[in-house]
């Protein structure tokens, strides 16, 4: 009771609920009997459940249920089974949740209650987590059948979504998954809850289409989800949509789009604090960056994801992070770090099985222990009641007979109850035993040897595979006095290993020799895992043994072969007949070459053909005799079409090294073949050439491709045709030649291999592995090797590798199968040639094409702009010429009239004509002045000198110059500007703009009108607004104001004339100074012209 009171006080101080309610409940609990406490526990649990404090809620629901079990469960108390299951479900204690949900639905409640249906749904969800999909589907379908009777569309739509999940994730039935997702979407009601169901359905529909590779539909539904979510703004939905879009674009190699959406998903998951989603987004970002060789960025995201995944226990992302970092280190040739992370990856992956098995054992043990404790507590309570009744009998003599009767009756009840409890406990114990037996069956059927020990390492149980592996049963070990792993293991450091496992409480792995009962010596790899209880204390040790004897034997055999090979090499160097043996080795390899698909020819020292393989016949269609007869000669110089064949043969013989050259031939079937030939000399024991070996590879397709590239770019006329499809079997060739077994494991490599990689064959295989699947960078190497083996055909592919010094080398590789006389694949010959020159040439051509396309695009844009500008200027000059013609025509007319003596011109007429000429000249002057300024500006002749200008002074000076014109028309001209207003501009251009705008305002304002000049300071710029209440501009003419190809000029209120160029100049000058200009006007209401200039220090 003291503990219970303390527990209540702790909850109260943590702010669980109001103090008054806490005091009330505590008082009631302390004053109530056991039966009354049932409802109090239930009320307390519901308070915690309402606050989503599931641990505390579960604690009190469990106490209420345990008390109810003793006194008998009422109808009202049955709901506690559901609530306890709900708490366990949220706490991810799925075993306990399942137990309580099953108790609830089997307690006799109606199957149409919401709690009954919710229990079925959550049981289905629990089975999904246990990968028991048929059972999950049964629960979901049953709940769907019931919810339709209740007519709750929200719950119905969620259940339909769950059914779709089973069909999508587990059963891979995409048609049914789509059907149920669409039903979920259509059934979901209006409102926020229903809207979220619809959004989830849209995301799931897109996942189905993505699995079907119908990416357009998938993207369509994801975009639809984003659009619908604008109102709800559910970040979890946004995160799922963005992540799905990123994965779709990544699968289509649209890496920029993928990166964009993965980043958005990361931000969404960060905002909702979803650590698992963060890990997945980071892993995806790392994969994208690694695919484009941005290894530093990829390494950062892998590392960040790994830290996050470890903190959250996301096993799959831990594996992805470890493997990704390992691959990056491999690519950077930091092999120690690469192997370190790879080993961590393998160890963690292996430990997952051990962890799952350990957890199953621990869960069963905890459940059994709980059942036993529960049974003992019930018996103790009954014994306590008996004791209390006995004491009561001694205290009350008067009621002795009654007490005796009650005691007898109570004893009968107790025995009946104990038998009942015992029956229930035995039944539960049998269920636990059955589960344990099922687990032991699983452990016995696994292919690994499993040994379970106590924390000291003493044997407790071993499975059948362990007995089978060692030959000793548990009793055999006990009879031999070996019942502890410290005595049983032959590892010298077993004590240190076990102490480490116990001290740090984590899985450790080690190897050791073992001697079976039948006398067989073997090697075992052992994974030792501690099993922890709820307090974190070790209760068991589980050892999983794997037989690695074959691996150890293989390592020993490789070491012995290496020693033998080193000895043979030493003997070959010292032996007088080393050259002879080497030549013999070449002849044997030539025998293997007789089965390859490439054409292999052997010639004497002078170049005369003496033998060809079947590949020669298959390639050209001729036997050696037919070919010699066709070419009218036996020598290489007679047969080859290469114009330099004589010098090639001479160079090969003089320098005693391999020569690669190309040529062409016509096959027997009339096919034009392009060949790449490797000519290799073979020396005898005196160091003289005894034979020549020629290996021809068909490079016709490569030649055609090279010709096409040459035609397009005119850059590859002399490209080196070293796209190697060679099957070289001579040990002295410059190309790399390797022989593999029928499974792709390396057996031998020539000296050219060492020259290409700077590794010896032994160092290379020791570092990178013995199988081509592990060493090749080609992503399709598994399929290529599989096709070569199954189809028994040669395959050619490109890939890259790295030399010992880290230099990248591009390779052209030919895999050629070797078939024995029974038609069985015996070996595979690998020929690799360096094609760095071709790759560099291809890249250079690609870059030049890109630059050429960009240049052409710019030229086309410039041409289009120039044509448009020329057209506009032509029209502009036509308009200006028309404007110039009118005043000049007036000059000619008046001057002609005045120059005629017959016209008696009076003084008044003379004054009238002079005034007209002055007006025309003034207008012409303004037109030419504006035209001159505009042309100087357009041709770049105007000096642009921006400086910090005090706008107050410039504006005042211009108003002083113009105010007489305003006074003539009795116009009220005012301006408003803050003190010390500065702008960054060219002062001459600014004066021109102000004069033009103010003159225009005066010109188009009626007598007695008003003009306001308002200057407003903004954060980065100053805004000048010239406002008049004049005649205004029609909407149609507003569009013509700033165009030079359309003439627009209007007479002022006193018939003042304009040039039509003023506003164009203003626009050019304002924009040159980095500002903008716009006009607002309505016919008959006036005009507002606004332009902006940057303040000092704010211009871009």
d(CA 777, CA 813): 12
Domain spanning 446-547: CATH superfamily: PAS domain (3.30.450.20)
More confident: 513 or 68: 513
CATH number of 560-696: 3.30.450.20
Does the pLDDT at position 387 exceed 70? no
Answer yes or no: are the C-beta atoms of 703 and 721 closer than 8 Å.
Answer: yes
CA–CA gap between residue 162 and residue 180 (Å, rounded) = 9
Give 778-809 pLDDT, tens digit per residue.
899 899 889 899 988 888 988 888 888 888 88
Smallest Cα–Cα separation from 70: which of 384, 369, 388, 366? 384
Residue 947, number of CB atoms within 10 A of its CB:
11
What number is the average pLDDT over the span 88-112?
87
For residue range 1000-1024, what is the model confidence (pLDDT) as tens digits?
A: 889 889 999 999 999 999 889 999 9
DSSP states along 397-431: STTHHHHHHHHHHHHHHHHHHHHHHHHHHHHHHHH
pLDDT value of residue 1026: 94
First to last CA, the chain: 76
Q: Where does the pLDDT of residue 1036 fall: very low under 50, low under 70, confident under 90, or very high at 90 and above?
A: confident
User: Residue 745 gets which letter from DSSP?
Assistant: B
* Other Cβ atoms closer than 10 A to 753: 22
Question: What does the alpha-carbon distance between residue 332 and residue 810 come to, in Å, rounded to a whole number?
Answer: 16
What whole-number distance in Å separates Cα of residue 329 and Cα of residue 339? Answer: 9
- 3-class state of residue 489 by DSSP: coil
Q: Is the pTM of this model over 0.85?
A: no
Is residue 769 helix, strand or coil? coil
| Cα separation, 1079 vs 50, whole angstroms | 63
What average pLDDT does this structure show over 447-457? 83
Distance CA 147, CA 902 (A): 116
Mean pLDDT along residues 549-563: 68
Alpha-carbon distances, residue 1018 vs 495, 645, 1024, 1025 (angstroms): 79, 82, 11, 13
SS (H, E, C) 142-209: HHHHHHHHHCCHHHHHHHHHHHHHHHHHHCCCHHHHHHHHHHHHHHCCCCHHHHHHHHHHHHHHHHHH
Contacts of 1023 (CB under 8 A, 6+ apart): 1015, 1016, 1090, 1091, 1092
φ/ψ of 942, rounded to 5, equals -85, 130
pLDDT at 705 over 80: no
Rounded Cα distance between 999 and 581, Å, is 107
Neighbours of 184 (CB within 10 A): 25
Judged against a pLDDT cut of 50, whether residue 74 lies above it is answered with yes
Instruction: List pLDDT tens digits, range 935-987.
Output: 665 555 567 889 999 999 989 988 888 888 888 889 999 999 999 999 999 98
Cα 600 from Cα 607, distance rounded (Å) = 14
Q: What SS3 string covers 324-387?
A: HHHHHHHHCCCHHHHHHHHHHHHHHHHHHHHHHHHHHHHHHHHHHHHHHHHHHHHHHHHHHHHH
For residue 865, the model assigns a pLDDT of 62
Mean pLDDT in residue range 118-143: 89
Q: Give the Cα separation of 597 and 816 in Å (integer).
A: 7
- Tell whether the model's pLDDT for residue 371 goes beyond 60: no
Answer positive or negative: Cα dihedral of 1042, 1047, 1048, 1049: positive
DSSP helix, strand, coil percent of the chain (3-state; round to 5): 60, 15, 25
What are 184-202's pLDDT values in tens digits?
999 888 888 888 898 999 9
Of 3-12, 375-384, 717-726, which has the strongest mean pLDDT?
Answer: 375-384
- pLDDT: which is higher, 52 or 915: 52
Token look-up 């490789």 returns 558
What pLDDT is stored for residue 947 in this prediction?
92
Tell me how far apart the alpha carbons of residues 951 and 975 are, in angstroms, rounded to a whole number: 12
Distance CA 128, CA 126 (A): 5
Q: How confident is the model at residue 655, as a pLDDT?
A: 87
> Does 3.30.565.10 match the CATH number of domain 943-1094?
yes
Give the phi and the psi of residue 816 in degrees, each rounded to 5: -120, 120
Q: What is the pLDDT of residues 630-656, one digit of tens each?
A: 777 778 888 888 888 888 888 888 888
Look at residue 880 in the predicted model and tell me its pLDDT.
58
Collapsing DSSP states into helix, strand and coil, what is residue 791?
helix
Pairing of strands 972-976, 1010-1017: parallel
**Torsion sign, CA atoms 598, 602, 608, 609:** negative
- Please state, in angstroms and rounded to a whole number, the distance separating the CA atoms of residues 743 and 596: 17
The more confident residue out of 932 and 476 is 476
**pLDDT at site 406:** 35
Question: Which tokens go with 189?
Answer: 């009601």
Query: How much is the pLDDT for 1095?
Result: 92
Tokens standing for residue 943: 């000096």
Poorest-pLDDT segment among 124-138, 177-191, 657-671, 881-895? 881-895
Give the chain's radius of gyration (CA, Å). 47
Helices 255-271 and 275-291: angle between axes, nearest 10 degrees: 160
Between 895 and 413, the higher pLDDT residue: 895
- Per-residue pLDDT tens over the stretch 207-223: 999 888 899 999 999 99
State pLDDT tens for residues 139-187. Answer: 999 988 888 888 788 898 899 999 999 888 877 888 898 999 999 999 8
Of the chain, the percentage scoring pLDDT greater than 90 comes to 12
Whether the CB-CB separation of 791 and 689 falls below 8 Å is answered with no
* Tens-place pLDDT, residues 226-255: 888 888 888 889 889 999 999 899 888 888
Residue 704 CB partners (closer than 8 Å, separation 6+): none
State residue 911 phi and psi, 5-degree precision: -65, -40
Per-residue model confidence as pLDDT tens digits over 242-289: 999 998 998 888 888 888 998 888 888 888 888 888 888 888 888 888
Q: How far apart are CA 627 and CA 645, in angstroms?
A: 18
The pLDDT score that the predictor gives to residue 566 is 62
CA torsion angle for 779, 785, 786, 787 (degrees, to 10)? Answer: 100
Tell me the mean pLDDT in the region 125-135: 87
Question: Among 852-856, 915-919, 962-966, 1092-1096, whose mean pLDDT is lowest?
Answer: 915-919
Collapsing DSSP to helix, strand or coil, 8 comes out as helix
Domain ranges of the chain: 344-437, 446-547, 560-696, 943-1094
Report d(CA 707, CA 705) in Å as an integer.
5
Distance CA 1011, CA 1062 (A): 18
Q: Enter the tokens of residue 853.
A: 């396309």
CB 185 within 8 A of CB 198: yes
Determine the average pLDDT of the residues in 53-60. 84
Per-residue pLDDT, 1094? 93
**Over the chain, what is the mean pLDDT?**
77
Cβ-based burial of 635 (10 A; exposed 0-12, middle 13-18, buried ≥19): middle
Does an H or E element contain 697, and which? strand 689-698
Whether 566 contacts 468, CB under 8 Å: no
Distances (CA, A) of 379 to 366, 411, 422: 20, 12, 9
Segment 1079-1092 mean pLDDT: 92
Q: Using an 8 Å Cβ cutoff, are 974 and 1013 in contact? A: yes
At residue 666, what are phi and psi to the nearest 5 degrees? -105, 125
One fold for both 446-547 and 943-1094? no
Burial of 468 (0-12, 13-18, 19+ CB in 10 A): exposed
Which is nearest to 462 in space by CA: 475, 448, 452, 472? 452
- The answer to whether residue 126 scores a pLDDT higher than 70 is yes
Q: Which of 618, 812, 606 is nearest to 706 (CA)?
A: 812
pLDDT-above-70 percentage for the chain: 74
């Amino acid at each position: 009771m003291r503990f219970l009171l303390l527990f209540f006080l702790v909850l109260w101080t943590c702010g669980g609920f109001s103090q008054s309610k806490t005091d009330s409940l505590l008082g009631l609990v302390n004053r109530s009997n056991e039966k009354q406490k049932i409802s109090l526990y239930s009320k307390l649990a519901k308070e915690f459940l309402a606050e989503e404090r599931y641990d505390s809620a579960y604690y009190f629901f469990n106490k209420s249920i345990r008390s109810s079990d003793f006194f008998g469960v009422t109808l009202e108390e049955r709901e506690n089974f559901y609530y306890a299951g709900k708490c366990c479900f949220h706490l991810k204690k799925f075993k306990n949740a399942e137990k309580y949900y099953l108790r609830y639905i089997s307690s006799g409640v109606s199957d149409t209650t919401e709690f009954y249906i919710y229990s079925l749904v959550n049981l289905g969800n629990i089975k999904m987590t246990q990968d028991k999909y048929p059972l999950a589907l049964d629960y979901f379908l049953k709940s769907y059948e019931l919810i339709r009777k209740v007519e709750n569309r929200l719950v119905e739509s969620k259940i339909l979504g769950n059914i779709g999940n089973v069909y999508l994730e587990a059963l891979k039935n995409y048609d049914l998954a789509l059907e149920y997702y669409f039903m979920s979407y259509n059934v979901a009601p209006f409102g926020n809850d229903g809207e979220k169901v619809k959004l989830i359905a849209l995301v799931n529909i897109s996942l189905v289409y993505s699995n079907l590779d119908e990416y357009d539909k998938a993207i369509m539904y994801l975009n639809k989800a984003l659009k619908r979510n604008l109102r709800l703004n559910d970040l979890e939905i946004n995160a799922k949509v963005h992540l799905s879009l990123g994965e779709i674009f990544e699968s289509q190699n649209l890496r920029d789009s993928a990166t964009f959406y993965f980043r958005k998903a990361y931000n969404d998951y960060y905002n909702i604090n979803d650590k698992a989603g963060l890990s997945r987004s980071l892993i995806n970002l790392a994969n994208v960056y690694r695919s484009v060789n941005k290894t530093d960025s990829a390494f950062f995201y892998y590392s960040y994801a790994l830290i996050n995944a470890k903190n959250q226990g996301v096993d799959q992302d831990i594996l992805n992070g470890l493997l990704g970092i390992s691959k990056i280190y491999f690519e950077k040739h930091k092999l120690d770090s690469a192997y370190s992370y790879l080993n961590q990856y393998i160890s963690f992956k292996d430990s997952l099985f051990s962890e799952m098995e350990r957890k199953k054992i621990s869960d069963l043990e905890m459940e059994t222990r709980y059942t036993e404790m529960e049974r003992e507590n019930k018996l103790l309570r009954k014994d306590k009641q008996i004791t209390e009744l006995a004491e009561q009998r001694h205290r009350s003599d008067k009621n002795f007979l009654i007490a005796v009767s009650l005691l007898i009756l109570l004893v009968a009840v107790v025995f009946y109850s104990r038998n009942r409890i015992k029956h229930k406990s035995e039944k539960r114990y049998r269920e636990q035993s059955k589960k344990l037996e099922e687990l032991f069956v699983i452990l016995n059927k696994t292919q690994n040897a499993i040994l379970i020990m106590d924390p000291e390492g003493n044997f407790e149980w071993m499975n059948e595979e362990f007995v089978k592996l060692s030959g000793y049963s548990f009793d055999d070990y006990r009879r031999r006095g070996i019942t502890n792993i410290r005595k049983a293991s032959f590892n010298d450091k077993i004590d240190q290993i076990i102490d480490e496992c116990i001290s740090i409480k984590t899985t450790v792995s080690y190897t050791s020799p073992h001697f079976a009962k039948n006398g067989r010596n073997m090697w075992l790899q052992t994974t030792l895992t501690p099993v922890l209880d709820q307090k974190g204390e070790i209760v068991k040790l589980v050892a999983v043994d794997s037989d690695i004897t074959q691996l150890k034997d293989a390592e020993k055999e490789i070491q012995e072969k290496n020693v033998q090979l080193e000895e043979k090499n030493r003997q070959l160097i010292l032996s007088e007949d080393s050259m002879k043996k080497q030549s013999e080795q070449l002849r044997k390899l030539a025998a293997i070459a007789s089965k390859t698909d490439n054409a292999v020819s052997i010639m004497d020292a002078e170049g005369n053909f003496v033998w060809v393989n079947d590949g020669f016949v298959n390639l050209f269609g001729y036997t050696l005799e037919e070919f010699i007869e066709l070419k009218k000669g036996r020598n290489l110089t007679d047969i080859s079409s290469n114009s330099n064949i004589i010098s090639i043969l001479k160079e090969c013989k003089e320098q005693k090294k391999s020569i690669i050259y190309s040529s062409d031939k016509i096959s027997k079937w009339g096919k034009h073949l392009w060949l790449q030939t490797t000519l290799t000399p073979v020396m005898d024991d005196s160091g003289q050439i005894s034979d020549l070996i020629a290996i021809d590879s068909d490079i016709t397709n490569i030649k055609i491709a090279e010709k096409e590239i040459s035609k397009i770019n005119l850059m590859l006329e002399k490209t080196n045709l070293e796209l190697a499809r060679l099957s070289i079997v001579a040990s002295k060739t410059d190309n790399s030649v390797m022989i593999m077994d029928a499974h792709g494991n390396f057996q031998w490599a020539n000296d050219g291999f060492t020259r290409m990689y700077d590794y010896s064959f032994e160092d290379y295989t020791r570092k990178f592995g013995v199988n081509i699947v592990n060493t090749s960078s080609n992503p399709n190497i598994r399929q290529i090797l599989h096709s070569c083996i199954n189809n028994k055909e040669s395959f050619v592919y490109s890939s890259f590798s790295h030399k010992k010094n880290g230099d990248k080398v591009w390779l052209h590789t030919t895999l050629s199968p070797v078939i024995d006389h029974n038609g069985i694949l015996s070996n595979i010959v690998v020929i690799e040639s360096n094609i760095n020159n071709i790759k560099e040439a291809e890249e250079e051509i690609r870059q030049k094409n890109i630059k050429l396309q960009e240049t052409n695009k710019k030229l086309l844009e410039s041409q289009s702009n120039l044509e448009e500008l020329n057209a506009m200027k032509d029209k502009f000059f036509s308009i200006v010429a028309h404007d110039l013609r009118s005043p000049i025509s007036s000059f000619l007319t008046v001057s002609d009239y005045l120059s005629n003596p017959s016209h008696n011109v009076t003084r008044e007429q003379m004054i009238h004509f002079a005034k007209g000429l002055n007006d025309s000249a003034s207008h012409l002057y303004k037109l030419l002045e504006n035209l001159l300024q505009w042309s100087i500006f357009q041709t770049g002749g105007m000096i642009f000198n921006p400086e910090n200008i005090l706008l107050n002074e410039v504006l005042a000076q211009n108003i002083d110059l113009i105010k007489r014109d305003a006074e003539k028309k009795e116009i009220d001209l005012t301006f408003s500007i803050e003190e010390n207003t500065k702008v960054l501009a060219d002062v001459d251009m600014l004066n021109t703009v102000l004069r033009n705008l103010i003159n225009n305002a005066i010109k188009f304002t009626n007598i007695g009108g008003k003009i306001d000049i308002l200057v407003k300071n903004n954060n980065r710029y100053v805004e000048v607004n010239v406002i008049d209440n004049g005649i205004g501009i029609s909407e149609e003419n507003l569009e013509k104001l700033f165009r030079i190809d359309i003439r627009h000029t209007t007479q002022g209120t006193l018939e003042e004339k304009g040039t039509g160029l003023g506003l164009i100049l203003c626009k050019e000058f304002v924009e040159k100074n980095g500002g903008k200009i716009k006009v607002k006007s309505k016919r008959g209401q006036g005009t507002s012209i606004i332009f902006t200039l940057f303040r000092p220090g704010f211009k871009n």
